[in-house]
């Protein structure tokens, strides 16, 4: 089973998104898009959508989705993965701030009408049917025709408050969903979210109560957490009492700050029954390479 994962693509006219052809060359079975599939705002126009009416917000967001989904390379990659999986499957994801509403958007501060627009367009283009108010959902994963586990996609924007130890990040409804999804799953587990945990100073650890609750849910479980957001690649081995690797590929078509087209970052997770091979790529080729032993959950870096 081969999963390609990427995040953060700020479409600019006249700039080719060559990263999708690079991903396609790996012939992935799945494509996971982990946030900022579009940019409703970008420097120096951050947070402008706050001031738009709902109609303008909807028109701009729909236009950006349509442009990105019709981008050469991206369009063909999605079609190839869905054909490979059959029945329209294989392409899944979650959102982050720029495709949810605007830079650093917290759901508690975004008007309900704009949240409804975002959810409707996300579910339309990603072709998912989330069970709750946000976009959290799960999908089964298969290897060689056999079900091996699941990928759980979390929503770190819909319920989110401004940071604080006792503030909300996931919310009660989503925690109940996550607990149920993990309860009877003994197989391979991926947890995916738009906001990283440890790889950013603006992540889960700013919500200490919910972060502690999350750690209790995954206590002792072999888990790989995939995320985006930071416009960089990162591979973080388990820390503390968890047995969770945090892996980030961010910057498929965006720079760290202002101009687009220089990053070309993506990841490939290649699962076999004995090991999970994780490769992170940038514009120069292979960036980081680690292999996780599925039995011991120890890893080795490949140089």
Q: What is the CATH number of domain 2-301?
A: 3.60.21.70
SS3 (DSSP) at 189: strand
Nearest-angstrom CA–CA distance, 193 and 171:
14
pLDDT computed for residue 129 by the predictor: 93
User: What mean pLDDT is reported for the chain?
Assistant: 94
Domain ranges of the chain: 2-301
pTM: 0.96
- Would you say residue 273 has pLDDT above 80? yes
Gyration radius of the chain over CA positions: 18
- Would you say residue 76 has pLDDT above 70? yes
pLDDT computed for residue 259 by the predictor: 62
* Beta strands per DSSP E along 237-274: 244-249, 266-271
pLDDT computed for residue 303 by the predictor: 86
Q: Count Cβ neighbours within 10 Å for each residue of 135-151 and write b for 16 or more, e otherwise.
A: bbbbbebebeeeeebbb
Number of H helices, E strands in the chain: 7, 13
pLDDT computed for residue 200 by the predictor: 84
Task: Give per-residue pLDDT as tens, 238-271.
Answer: 987 789 999 999 999 987 766 666 789 999 999 9
Instruction: List all residues 6 or more positions away from 90 whose beta carbon is below 8 Å from its beta carbon.
Output: 29, 30, 31, 81, 82, 84
pLDDT computed for residue 260 by the predictor: 60
pLDDT computed for residue 241 by the predictor: 78
Instruction: List all residues 6 or more positions away from 181 whose beta carbon is below 8 Å from its beta carbon.
Output: 138, 150, 152
CA-based diameter of the chain, in Å? 53
Residue 12's pLDDT band (cuts 50, 70, 90): confident
In degrees rounded to 5, what are phi and psi of residue 297?
60, 25
**Secondary structure (DSSP) of 46-106:** TTGGGGS-HHHHHHHHHHHHHHHHTSTTHHHHHHHHHHHHSTT-SEEEE--HHHHTSTT--
pLDDT computed for residue 261 by the predictor: 63
- Would you say residue 99 has pLDDT above 90? yes
pLDDT cut 90: percent of the chain above it: 85
- Would you say residue 181 has pLDDT above 90? yes
Cα end-to-end distance, the chain, whole Å? 23
pLDDT computed for residue 288 by the predictor: 96
CB 118 within 8 Å of CB 95: yes
Measured CA distances, 181 to 172, 177, 184, 213, 271 (Å): 14, 6, 7, 15, 21
- Would you say residue 136 has pLDDT above 70? yes
């Amino acid at each position: 089973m081969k999963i390609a994962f990427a995040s953060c693509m700020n479409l600019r006219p006249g700039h080719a998104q060559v990263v999708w052809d690079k991903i396609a060359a790996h012939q992935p079975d799945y494509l996971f898009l982990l946030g900022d599939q579009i940019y409703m705002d970008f420097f120096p126009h951050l947070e402008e959508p706050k001031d738009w009416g709902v109609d303008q917000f909807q028109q701009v967001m729909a236009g950006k989705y349509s442009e990105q989904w019709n981008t050469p390379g991206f369009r063909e990659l999605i079609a190839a993965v869905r054909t490979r999986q059959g029945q329209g499957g294989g392409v899944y994801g979650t959102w982050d701030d720029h495709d949810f509403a605007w830079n650093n958007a917290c759901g508690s501060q975004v008007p309900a009408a704009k949240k409804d627009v975002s959810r409707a367009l996300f579910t339309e283009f990603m072709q998912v049917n989330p069970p709750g108010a946000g976009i959290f959902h799960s999908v089964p994963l298969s290897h060689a025709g056999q079900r091996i586990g699941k990928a759980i996609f979390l929503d770190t924007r819909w319920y989110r408050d401004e940071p604080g130890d006792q503030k909300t990040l996931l919310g009660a409804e989503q925690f109940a969903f996550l607990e149920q999804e993990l309860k009877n799953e003994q197989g391979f587990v991926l947890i995916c979210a738009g906001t990283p945990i440890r790889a950013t100073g603006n992540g889960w650890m700013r919500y200490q109560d919910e972060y502690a609750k999350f750690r209790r849910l995954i206590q002792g479980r072999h888990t790989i957490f995939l995320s985006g957001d930071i416009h960089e690649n990162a591979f973080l081995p388990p820390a503390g009492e968890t047995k969770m690797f945090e892996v980030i590929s961010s910057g498929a078509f965006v720079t760290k700050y202002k101009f687009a087209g220089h990053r070309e970052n993506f990841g490939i997770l290649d699962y076999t029954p004995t090991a999970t091979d994780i490769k992170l790529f940038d514009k120069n080729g292979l960036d980081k390479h680690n292999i996780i032993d599925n039995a011991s959950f120890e890893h080795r870096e490949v140089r």
